[in-house]
Amino acid sequence: MQEITQIRKNKISLLDYDYKQDIENRVMLSKLTEFELSVLEEILFSSIKTSLSRLSKDLETPEKKLLPVLEKFEKTNLLKIDGQIINIDKKMRKYFEFEYQRFEENFKPDLLFINNLLHKIPIHILPIWYSIPKSSNNIFASIIDRYLLTPQMFQRHLENIECENSTFLGIVEEVYNSENFEVTSSYLQKKYSLEKETYLEIILFLEFNLLCFQSYKKTKNGYVEIITPFHEYKDYLQYLNTTKILSIKDTKKLIRKRKSPFGFVEDLSSILKMAKKPISKNTAEKNIKNELSIKDTDIIVSKSYIDSIINKLLKIEFLSEKKDLLQITTSGKKWLDFNLENKALHLYYHTLNTLEEEDSFKHLINEKSIREAEKSITRALDASWVYFDDFAKGIIAAITDEHLVKIIHSGKAYKYSIGSYSKEEILFIKKVIFERLFEAGFVSIGSINAQDCFSVTKLGKKLFEIT
């Protein structure tokens, strides 16, 4: 059997328990027929002491047909046959009760299952395996807090796993890149040319690393062994799939706010160049309107947009205003020397470039909420133009503590909580995207048939792909 005894990151070593016996039992289980499984189920729910005749009667099966199956289970120490008497081992029955769950119709490899799975391991070993304090009052809660509390934490754990065995990492990629986050064991064994024992050794590592779990799906042709992520994370991934942001198919009627992705920055630059010598506000407004009409013949140049350009320059102190005359400041002159991308980044990070408050979401005007609203566009990175209303249906943004996607204990089960957003919160996120990110050149904005839409620019993708 191939030895994969330890993974460096979290010190998991199969040598810390009787993993060979575990593998041997699971190999046996994987080969059971439906009839043999029905016999196992009957044994698991029988009294500790039963008889061959009783089992034969309950299963409506001749003793002659039952005996070879019972002898197979006897080899695992689940039971001992003494003539007609069958003595069932309590410890092994508990083991097989746990493993039998994987065959049940509604089985889910959820956190409750994982908690019980870890009972196979001596309790003093778990803090070493998972790098948690030995003084922890609740080891499993500590494991959740360290690795699974949020999808991002689990993703980091997934990315940080180190193993010299390429097959281990290959199986992980197969599962997480599959359409339904589900791959059959037969496919994996064939692809990687693995004997059942070697394959199950890898699966043990996957399970104890919290990455993938074995279960069985009943089909017309019997049980099919499959590998999936743990249930709560699989649910989260499926939610992302069902709320995936789709690109607008027909953009022929798209009216863009500005044709250039750095349109707002270019307009700021134009005003500053005009204001190298004092210029009246009215003259500057007329000049920029004429310039925009020539640059972007398809756009409608509104007074509110012109006002936003001048007000922004005054706010970040690139312009000064005296007696209705505008003039560039020293910091404005320095900014003009930057290239377009650096101008955009400087504007984005400028300490005076804050979001204007509105009464409906005044409580959200803080650095954390704004940053989380900005990060919401990561869901649109792979799309071209998207309708904001469609985008809003799948928003995931921790703009308040209540909106943080994290594991919660709901009754007897766990789940990743995904919050809903009020109208005011949606308006806040829209303002961040359509004003702050548009101005910095991270998104282009526009409308189709009066429906607002946006597209993440190259600069936006460059920045938000790594956040």
Same domain, 172 and 311: no
Residue with the two structure tokens 């005007």: 365
Boundary of a domain, candidates 309, 332, 355: 332
Same domain (yes/no): 232, 271: no
Give Cα 37 distance to the centre of its chain.
36
| Mean of pLDDT values over 231-251 | 96
Mean pLDDT estimate for the chain = 93
- The average pLDDT across 195-204 equals 97
From residue 18, how far is each of 15, 96, 415, 458 by CA, in Å?
7, 15, 32, 53
pLDDT tens-digit profile of 79-103? 999 999 999 999 999 999 999 999 9
* Angle at CA of residue 141, ends 135 and 146, nearest 5°: 85
d(CA 146, CA 80): 43
216 has a pLDDT exceeding 60: yes
Residue 297's pLDDT band, with cuts at 50, 70 and 90, is confident
Q: What is the pTM of this model?
A: 0.88
Please give the average per-residue pLDDT across 432-440, as a whole number. 97
CB contact at 8 A, 334 and 343: no
Is pLDDT larger for residue 403 or for residue 166? 403
Residue 5 confidence (pLDDT) above 70: no
> Same structural domain for residues 34 and 105?
yes
Strand partners, 256: 446
Q: Is residue 185 included in any domain, yes or no?
A: yes
Lowest mean pLDDT, pick from 92-96, 159-163, 172-176, 363-367: 159-163
Of 332, 354, 388, which residue is a domain's last? 332
Same-domain check for residues 228 and 274: no
Q: What is the pLDDT of residue 136?
A: 87
User: What is the reported pLDDT for 465?
Assistant: 85
The pLDDT of residue 3 is above 80: no
Is 365 a domain residue? no
> Which of 399, 26, 449 has its CA nearest to residue 196?
26
Same domain, 71 and 132: yes
d(CA 237, CA 151): 9
> Is residue 464 included in any domain, yes or no?
no
Q: What's the token pair of residue 161?
A: 């796993």
pLDDT at 1 over 70: no
Q: Is 84 exposed, middle or buried (0-12, 13-18, 19+ CB in 10 A)?
A: exposed
The residue among 262 and 299 whose pLDDT is bigger is 262
208, 320: one domain: no
Q: Which of 2-6, 368-372, 402-406 has the lowest mean pLDDT?
A: 2-6
Give domain status of residue 304, yes or no.
yes
Alpha-helical (H) ranges within 216-262 are 231-242
The confidence score (pLDDT) of residue 250 equals 95
Q: Are residues 315 and 237 in the same domain?
A: no
Domain that holds residue 206: 6-241
Task: Verify that 271 and 163 share a domain, yes or no.
Answer: no
pLDDT for the residue numbered 467 = 53
285 and 216 inside one domain = no
* pLDDT range class, residue 411, cuts 50, 70, 90: confident
Q: Residue 386 is which amino acid?
A: V
Residues 274 and 231 in one domain: no
Instruction: Evaluate whether residue 383 is within a structural domain.
Output: no
**227 and 301 share one domain:** no
Q: Is residue 219 part of a domain?
A: yes
Q: How confident is the model at residue 466 (pLDDT cuts 50, 70, 90)?
A: low
pLDDT band for 293, please (50, 70, 90 cuts). Answer: confident
**Is the distance from CB of 303 to CB of 291 less than 8 angstroms?**
no
CA distance 432 to 388: 12
pLDDT at 96: 98
Q: Is 38 a residue whose pLDDT tops 50?
A: yes
How many structural domains compose the chain?
A: 2
Instruction: Give the domain-ending residue among 241, 275, 310.
Output: 241
- CATH number of the structural domain spanning residue 272: 1.10.10.10
- In percent, the amount of the chain with pLDDT more than 70 equals 97
Task: Give pLDDT, residue 58.
Answer: 94
Please tell me which residue, 144 or 300, carries the higher pLDDT value. Answer: 144
Distance separating alpha carbons of residues 4 and 209, to the nearest angstrom: 13
Give the C-alpha separation, 391 to 378, whole Å: 11
Is residue 8 very low, low, confident or very high in pLDDT (cuts 50, 70, 90)?
very low
- Residue 113: inside a domain: yes
pLDDT score recorded for residue 387? 98
Taking the CA atoms of residue 326, residue 327, residue 333 and residue 339 in that order, the dihedral angle to the nearest 10 degrees is 30
If asked whether residues 139 and 43 sit together in one domain, one would say yes
pLDDT level of residue 10 (50, 70, 90 thresholds)? low
